[in-house]
Every structure is written in structure tokens, then in C-alpha cells.
Structure 1
Amino acid sequence: MKKKIAIIGSGISGLTAGFELSKKYEIHIYEKNSYLGGHTHTHKITENNKKYYIDSGFIVFNNKTYPNFINLLKKLNVNSENTSMSFSVNYPFEDFEWSGKNLKSIIFKNKNFFSIKFLKIIIGIIKFNFIAKMNKKSFLKIKIDTFLKKFNFSEEFKKYYLYPMCASIWSNPINKIKNYKTHFLIEFFINHGLVNLFFRPQWKVVKLGSNKYIEKIIRLSDIKFFLNNNVKSIKTSNDQIKIKNKNKLINYDYLIFANHANEISKILPNNFKKQKKILSLVDYQTNDACLHTDSSLMPKNKYNWSSWNFIKAKDDTARLTYWMNYLQNLKCKKNYFVTLNSNNLINKNKIIKKIKYSHPVFKHNKEYTYKKLQEIQGLKNIYYCGAWCGYGFHEDGVVSAKKITNCLM
């Protein structure tokens, strides 16, 4: 008889762990939502009797920094296609916008190119990339805001480039980005080729929507899924874990938490004090996402329309709009967008779907968090994984799951 493993959370980490372990164990995955995938969330849109698949959570990956995720796609025989990654910044109340789609868009299509403001941005980018490549250990503990002041970076560089870029990457407001550790940011920029002006990695999307890999995992495994099942507590005794499912307690030999750190902390019994303390190293920011067709949140100059489009509100909110036609190579008449934290600004008649996502806010570099996590992995046959164990992205989720499957296989 196979031993039983419960996995709480059906995001990339839970699905990866479940898929690998289902060859040896009986796997039950508990998911609080009505769909599998967590931040992998694909919506089917019909336009002129043709179907299009649009992602609103996880969208892009690349060959350089997502090797384990790419191996998973290959194992599942899921196809991908190239996409174009570009970034625009728009301060509408200052009549200032620019995009880094390509050299032509920066120089010839940018009315601000010859301004002192824009010159300071370019100088700041070159300076930041140069210093980042030095990667000194002295950067390890100081906050990014302190680092930028220490090296006399211009306000223009911070305001119109670095902070919008980071706020967009981690879906966090700028005031929280300022408290990120410098080493964490620099390591991420280096690993993702963001400190190179040229020879950046080729970005990709899953063909016909990211949900394709979930469909394959369901088809190729015998995992039992329990949707709309929000596990609120567990019981442990004699190396057994008990989980309530439809008013019935089910015994498991192992438990893998693959949900958010703050959710795990609420589920664990009160006597798991060390675990709760370690899990508190990661905070979360809730973001409203909206799939829609309203172009009013895009740059005024259509030539500046990019994959990611940051608009600075007068408050500190990170308002980011993804142009899905450009990102997912959609050949349709309408333009489709996914916008964060701007539901009140979107034409109600053009809204397709509203969603809430939670994104991690990191207090420490990933090495410190990972080191502390090892102190509790496997205690009482309970394991922890998730994208929050790294930088918060799909590759981190796969890596964290594989570390657990290596222990249990």
C-alpha cells in the first residue's frame, strides 16, 4: 500500500511536487480556489467565433533563469513561443513618458530623449549596471534606498526607472520596494540579465496559455484534487498528520505546504512557534488584477505601448498594465490588457474579469530565508515549498518543490 501525502496549494510548487511524487505515493492536493494553478490563471476569450487564451497571473519565462521550469515543460511536452519584453514608464500629471522597447523607440520616438531628465536616467542605468556587476558583500544588508543615496544616484533614475521597474517586477508599491535589501535586488538583476544593455535573455510564453502545463499534469498523473477546500487547521500525532475533508478526518504520512507563508502560519497549530517565526520572514501584498479591453491606462503615444506599462498615480500605488496581445502574440482585433490596482479607473463596460493575487514582500535575501527554512523542513513529517522560498517566481517554485521531492523519493 502506498504512503499518502497531502499537499496544500495547487500553484506551481504544489503541482510540481505532486506530479513527481505521484509515481511513488498516493497524492491528495487541497486547493482553496475553484481552479488549479494559483498564479497560473488562463482565461478563455471568444472573439468572432475564435478562441483566445489569455493569462492574468504567471505569463513569461526565459531560457537562462528558468531551467527547471523549462525541463518540466519538456517532460510534459508543452510548447512555448518567443515573446517581446519591453517596459514603459508614464507620469501623466508631469506629461512625461518613455519606453525601452528598442533603441529606436528610446531615441527617435521619445520627445523627452534630449531632456536633462532623460539624460540622468540613462546615466543612472549605466552607473547602476556597472556597480551591480561589482556585487560587493557590503551591499548585502543595506536597503536599496540607502544604497542609492550612498552612491549619489539621481532622483530621476530612481523615480523614472529603478523604482517603477522593481514595483512592476514584484507587484509591490514603491514604499515597500525602498526597503528591499540591495543584495536581493542586485542578485536578481544580474541573474535575469537586467544589468546588460545588450544580449538579454529571450523571453517566452506557454503557447495557448500557461494553463496547458496544468492540463498535462492532471492527464499524466493520478493525483486526487480537492477544489474549494480551504484547509484551516491540521492535527499531528505519532508522525501522522490529520486533515479535515468534508467533515471527515483523513490521515497522511507526510504533509507538504505549497501555499503562501502567511497562510501556512495560520494553519499550523499554536505550538509550532519556531515554524511560525521563520514563516514570518516573508510578508505579502494583495493586488487587484483586472482583465479588460480599456486602453486608457496605456501610454498616450501608442509607439510607447510596451509589454509592461507602469503608470505612476499621485499616491504610491504601483499601477501596471500588461499588453497581452504583444506578450502572447494574440492575432485578434481587440486589444486585451491585465492591469493591477486600478479597477476604479477602468471602464466598467470593458471589464472581463476581476481577480485578487497576493505577492510576496521580502525582508531578507533568499539565502537567509532558505537557510532558516532548512531548520524546520521535515520536522513532524511536514515540508514547506513555494515561490516565496526564492525570488517569488515560477522557477523558484519548481526548485523549492524539487528539493522536497529529492528528500522523499
Structure 2
Amino acid sequence: MGEAANLNSPAIGFAHGRPRRIAVVGSGIAGMSCAWLLSQVHDVTLFEADDRIGGHSHTQIAPTNDGGVAVDTGFIVFNPQTYPNLCALFENLGVATLDTEMTFAVSLDGGRLEYSGTDLGGIFAQKRNLVSPRYWSMLKDLAKFYRRAPKDLALLGDEALGAYLDRLGCGTPFREDHLYPMAAAIWSSDVGDIPNFPAASFIRFCENHGLLKFSDRPTWRTVKGGSREYVAKITAPYADAIRRNCPVRSIHRDERGVTLTLDRGEERFDDVVIATHADQALALLADADADERRLLGAIHYRRNHAVL
């Protein structure tokens, strides 16, 4: 967090007195923002393997009686405290945004347990929970986790979340009825994987997003009209330099620049920005060194099904 970066300084030198030819591979927020800034000075080409651009910024139109409503299935919300650079980018682009809410609700075992975190009415939506020892155990451990986790953060090292909860004395109700379902929803993971998450990374994320307190949480915002609106604005200056349905097969570097292998042949550039997931980046690098293989190969992914 902190002050936003200067968005008007593409500080990359020229090649032999001319703008550099720069390839950007991948059209998610990283690729689009790099291309937007660099194209103000340099000759940029953006490569996207898919037939659409935007990456996780993917707006769908859900049919309604009024003709449809824009629904984002990936990137949905942001807040000024955690995303100052994104806010500065949207302001620079003139992207309209709206206040919204970040809510959390749970329904387990076909309705055996249901609650939301909006207010007391949501917390005790099922009146029987007022006299449920299991439910009160969950709330007690929730308060303890909120209080202790930020203080313990610097001491956790590589300890797993499940092991930290054991040491903290948090019981099964808190884990199974609150923390694990919430984490699985945020990271689109199986509940069974959550205990193995690094506790420090998990707690740091929650703290940065204001999730470890009951009040004074950040004000969340969303893009008016869906994330497609900012995608259109950020790509407008270099729209003619975007190549859709154009997968890059490999990247080879030498002392004079880089060679991109495409389905139709090879193309030379002075520089390349690889704006893909780590496993995709590693697969592209024909000459990856030991550090690149170690760092990029350490990050794993899994497929998920999204239902709209």
C-alpha cells in the first residue's frame, strides 16, 4: 500500500535513437497496463492467445426483463486503501466507478447452518443459533483470530494455517463453519486444501483487505458498467497493435533482443514483457535459466468451473 506510482513515466531507453519494439504477451491487467504505458513512447505489440482481451476482467450480460445487466465473473471489486495504483490508473483513464459492498454468507449441509456477516440480523439469521454451543464457539474463536493473527504475523515463518490454528486453540466450528469456507470462496480452492495454506500469506491478505476487524472496513468500489468499460479505455490507444487469436509458442533471448515464435513464423523485438501466469511464462521461455525455472516452477495452478 502507499502512494500511487507515477503513471506517466515509461522509463525505458531508446534503441539506437529510435523507440524500442516491445512485445507484450498476455492481455490481463498486467499486460494491458504495461502496453498502455509503454505505447506512449515505444512501438508496442500486444499478443493474446484467446479471441478476447482482458484476462480476469470478463463482463457477461445476464438477461433480465429490462434487457440485461452487466455481471463480472472475474475481477469485480477494489478499494482505495489496498489498490492505490489501480485507483490512480482508473482516474487517469476516466473510468467511472461506484460504491459497492463486499459481503459474505454461508449455507452448509443443505441449510443446516446459514448466516451472513452483514449485521446482527444476518449473524443470527437462524434464531436457533442463539442457543447453539457450536455457533458460539465459532464466534468466540473468530474474535480470537481477529485479535491475535495480526500480532502473530511476523513470527509465523512458513507455518501452515492449520498448524497455526492448532497452536492458537481454534476449534472445529470456527474452521469448518467460517474460515475454511471463506478462504475457499476467495481463492476458488477446495476446502480441504485450506489448512495447508501458508498462514503468514493468508493473514497478510486478510489484513490488507480489512477482513480481520468487525468495523471500519474499507469502502469497496466497482467499475460502472462492468470491467469491460476499463478494458475498452485502457486498450484504445493501441487497439490496432493488439493481435487476438495469436498465441506465442516460444521466446528466445539473445544479446540483440528477443525472438518470438508464432504459428506463422518468427518475429523480432528489442524487449518482451511476459504478462502471463507463472507456469505459462516458464513454458514460453526456450532458454530459461536455473533461477527462472526454480521461481516460476514453484507456483502451481488448478482449474475451476465458474457458473453464472
Aligned to 2:223: 206
Cα distance change of structure 1 residues 271 and 58 upon mapping to structure 2, 3 Å threshold? closer
Cα distance change of structure 1 residues 276 and 159 upon mapping to structure 2, 3 Å threshold? same
Q: What are the Cα deviations for residues 99-146 of structure 1, in whole angstroms up to 9, with x where unaligned?
A: 112222213555423311110111011000111131343212211010
Aligned to 2:5: none
Is the Cα–Cα contact under 8 Å of residues 18 and 223 in structure 1 kept in the other structure? no
Matched, 1:101 2:118: yes
Q: Distance in 2 between matches of 1:68 and 1:135?
A: 28
The partner residue of 1:78 within 81, 87, 95 is 95
Q: Distance in 2 between matches of 1:114 and 1:35?
A: 52
Aligned to 1:175: 192
Shift in Å at residue 260 of structure 1? 0.4
- Letter matched to residue 91 of structure 2: K
Aligned to 1:267: 284
Is the Cα–Cα contact under 8 Å of residues 114 and 125 in structure 2 kept in the other structure? no
Aligned to 1:30: 47
Q: Distance in 2 between matches of 1:240 and 1:265?
A: 18
Count of residues in Structure 1 that have an aligned counterpart in Structure 2: 291
- Secondary structure, aligned partner of 2:147: helix
Q: Distance in 1 between matches of 2:240 and 2:151?
A: 47
- Letter matched to residue 169 of structure 2: N
Is the Cα–Cα contact under 8 Å of residues 57 and 72 in structure 2 kept in the other structure? yes
Aligned to 2:107: 90
Counterparts of 1:211-290 in structure 2 under 5 Å? Answer: 211-221=228-238, 224-290=241-307
Q: Distance in 1 between matches of 2:235 and 2:159?
A: 44
Shift in Å at residue 222 of structure 1? 5.4
Q: Distance in 2 between matches of 1:271 and 1:189?
A: 34
Shift in Å at residue 238 of structure 1? 2.3
Q: What are the Cα deviations for residues 148-191 of structure 1, in whole angstroms up to 9, with x where unaligned?
A: 01111010001111111111111111232211111111111111
Is the Cα–Cα contact under 8 Å of residues 106 and 113 in structure 1 kept in the other structure? no
Counterparts of 1:131-210 in structure 2 under 5 Å? Answer: 131-210=148-227
Percent of paired sites with the same residue: 30
Aligned to 1:309: none
- Secondary structure, aligned partner of 2:158: coil
Is the Cα–Cα contact under 8 Å of residues 249 and 260 in structure 2 kept in the other structure? no
Q: What are the Cα deviations for residues 68-123 of structure 1, in whole angstroms up to 9, with x where unaligned?
A: 11111111101111112211112125722221122222135554233111101110
Shift in Å at residue 38 of structure 1? 0.6
- Letter matched to residue 93 of structure 2: L
Is the Cα–Cα contact under 8 Å of residues 29 and 223 in structure 1 kept in the other structure? no
Q: Distance in 2 between matches of 1:110 and 1:59?
A: 32
Aligned to 1:355: none
- Letter matched to residue 211 of structure 2: L
When normalised by structure 2's length, the TM-score is 0.89
Is the Cα–Cα contact under 8 Å of residues 71 and 226 in structure 2 kept in the other structure? yes
Is the Cα–Cα contact under 8 Å of residues 252 and 287 in structure 2 kept in the other structure? no
Shift in Å at residue 270 of structure 1? 5.0
Is the Cα–Cα contact under 8 Å of residues 85 and 101 in structure 1 kept in the other structure? no
Counterparts of 1:277-356 in structure 2 under 5 Å? Answer: 277-291=294-308
Is the Cα–Cα contact under 8 Å of residues 10 and 38 in structure 1 kept in the other structure? yes
- Secondary structure, aligned partner of 2:215: coil
- Secondary structure, aligned partner of 1:288: coil
Counterparts of 1:27-66 in structure 2 under 5 Å? Answer: 27-48=44-65, 50-66=67-83
Q: Distance in 2 between matches of 1:36 and 1:159?
A: 38
Aligned to 1:13: 30
Structure 2: runs of 5 or more not aligned: 1-17
Is the Cα–Cα contact under 8 Å of residues 249 and 262 in structure 2 kept in the other structure? no
Cα distance change of structure 1 residues 174 and 45 upon mapping to structure 2, 3 Å threshold? closer
Shift in Å at residue 229 of structure 1? 1.7
- Letter matched to residue 253 of structure 1: D
- Secondary structure, aligned partner of 1:219: helix
- Letter matched to residue 100 of structure 1: G
- Secondary structure, aligned partner of 1:50: coil
Q: Distance in 2 between matches of 1:175 and 1:47?
A: 37
Aligned-residue RMSD, C-alpha: 1.8
Is the Cα–Cα contact under 8 Å of residues 22 and 223 in structure 1 kept in the other structure? no
- Letter matched to residue 207 of structure 1: K
Question: Greater Rg, structure 1 or structure 2?
Answer: 2
Shift in Å at residue 51 of structure 1? 3.8
Aligned to 2:7: none
Cα distance change of structure 1 residues 222 and 23 upon mapping to structure 2, 3 Å threshold? farther
Is the Cα–Cα contact under 8 Å of residues 5 and 255 in structure 1 kept in the other structure? yes
Cα distance change of structure 1 residues 191 and 49 upon mapping to structure 2, 3 Å threshold? closer
Q: Is the strand fraction higher in 1 or 2?
A: 1
Cα distance change of structure 1 residues 31 and 6 upon mapping to structure 2, 3 Å threshold? same
Shift in Å at residue 273 of structure 1? 3.1
